[in-house]
Amino acid sequence: MVLALVLIALGLGLFAWKVSSFGFPVKPEETSEVWVVQAHVAVDPGAGSLKVSMQLPTRTPGYGLSDEHFISRGFGLAVDDKPWQRTATWAIRRAGSERSLYYRGVYFHDENRQEIAPRPQFPNPPLLREPFQTALLEIVDEVRQESADIASFTTSVLVRLNDPAPEDNLALFVEGPLKLDKAHIAQLLLSGARIPVLTIQGVRLTDDSNNAPIQTFIAAHDGEQWLYFDPETGDSGLPGDFLVWWTGDDPFVSVEGGRLVNSEISVKRQAVSSLSLATERAELHGSRIVEFSLMSLPINIQSVYEVLLLVPLGAFIIVLLRNVVGVRSFGTFMPVLIALAFRETELLAGFLLFVTIVGVGLTFRFYLEKLRLLLVPRLAAVLIIVVLLMAVVSVISHQLGVEAGLSVALFPMVIIAMVIERMSIVWEEHGPANAMLDGVGSLAIAIIAYLVMGIDLFAWWVVVFPELLLVVLGLTIALGRYTGYRLTELFRFREAVS
């Protein structure tokens, strides 16, 4: 029983881990949301060569990159994949008229916590001309007295910045000749306190947009991690729909040998298969779970295992019906093989074909009994008769235009031959009633197994989550220890039990 519990816990644990960590879908029809982000750059070239550089998303906390493409007719492309900042550079010798360049990336929600930049050094305080230098020092001293750590210091600075009536020292920066926005004023003040800080540029992935505005956040490092703040509101943390595009004050697009006409970012939401997205998420996290799964096999081999992995489920149904319910059948796993044949022939056609083959084969088997053959020749003769009967049924069905009859070839002929042999022995030793009862029980188990294995959700689980077969194994082992009354025995011996 301990082994059964361990197997069940292991199977359910792996199942829960794959669903929670990588988002593997529990249902086959599940879809997930992705965002197609497109950057369009239009440039007016000069007389000579043209070079265009554009910042690319590199470290994107909360999002993962599924796919990306660059579209640029006639341009050479070089992507500088630096660890903390990626840049795409297009170049052409002679551009002619106005040209358009495109970057398209597909991004999905991911619970990664990527750092946007390496651990920084403490910056030197900025040197400003008076009266800005004195105002900076006084602001830093006042805020330091009202704060306990870097997070509270940054929040206090932003609260002061967003005050409609800022104090005199801060008004020098907000309303003075420096003409800085709130993000860069906050960056300046935090640098005055020797707090590592940088600006973050990105877009919000909220609704479909043809011209999503680039928004600026600031990030302050507390010695362990980057803390994010919205300079316009003072709120801490990045919004869940914010895609970090690049860090620092470099321009989004820079042009050499021409003039930038326009640059815009478009955002569009799409739905994709959750399974494909889960595999990409696993690769993003460096997990090799997909490489060592059935999904890495060739398609034709996957199709084989889609059927084979249902056999343990059918075997568990047999264990349940025989050991707990008490249904009688011929053979141990014959009903599962018949159920697999039903999957190809459809239930009604398969049932009629099975009854026909077994009925006619049983007639020939009774005739062979009169010849007093030995066991092996008799079984071989029954097998040959079954094959001939299957061929005859197929030919006659084809001539009559009954296409369902052609699927009789899908039945396991050896199993049918053994059913005929076993049924004839029971008929002779225990009478026709017991033989018919065992035959009906076998068909009943096969039909129930067919119905269970035909549930699309179960077929999906055994392929995407084959570890759930450990749960089936654990339950089978647990039922193997059951020695109590079967349900049919409770009915038969109800007076003795009471």
Q: What is the pLDDT of residues 458-480, one digit of tens each?
A: 988 998 899 999 999 999 999 88
Report yes or no on 462 lying in a domain. Answer: no
Residue-wise pLDDT tens digits, 361-370:
888 888 888 8
Nearest to 287 by CA among 16, 22, 108: 22
Report yes or no on 272 lying in a domain. Answer: yes
Q: Are residues 92 and 169 in the same domain?
A: no
Domain CATH number, residue 269: 2.60.40
Percent of the chain with pLDDT over 70: 96
The pLDDT value given to residue 255:
92
10 Å CB burial of residue 240 (0-12, 13-18, 19+) is exposed
Q: Are residues 61 and 161 in the same domain?
A: no
Residue 137 carries which side chain, given as an amino acid letter?
L
d(CA 165, CA 169): 12
d(CA 465, CA 345): 27
Q: Are residues 332 and 435 in the same domain?
A: yes
Q: Are residues 334 and 385 in the same domain?
A: yes
Q: Are residues 243 and 264 in the same domain?
A: no
Report yes or no on 480 lying in a domain. Answer: no
Q: Are residues 220 and 273 in the same domain?
A: no
The pLDDT value given to residue 131:
86
Domain CATH number, residue 185: 3.30.460
Q: Residues 120, 148, 201, 164: is their CA dihedral positive or negative?
A: negative
More confident residue, 444 or 375: 444
Report yes or no on 163 lying in a domain. Answer: yes
Q: Are residues 220 and 156 in the same domain?
A: yes
Q: Are residues 64 and 145 in the same domain?
A: no
Q: Are residues 144 and 106 in the same domain?
A: no
Report yes or no on 472 lying in a domain. Answer: no
Q: Are residues 89 and 212 in the same domain?
A: no
Domain count of the chain?
3
Q: Are residues 82 and 168 in the same domain?
A: no
Report yes or no on 265 lying in a domain. Answer: yes
10 Å CB burial of residue 20 (0-12, 13-18, 19+) is exposed
Nearest to 322 by CA among 457, 152, 205, 438: 438
On whether the pTM is more than 0.75, the answer is no
Overall average pLDDT of the 443-469 stretch: 90
Report yes or no on 471 lying in a domain. Answer: no
Report yes or no on 45 lying in a domain. Answer: yes
Q: Are residues 209 and 267 in the same domain?
A: no
Range of the domain at 440: 311-453
d(CA 312, CA 128): 76
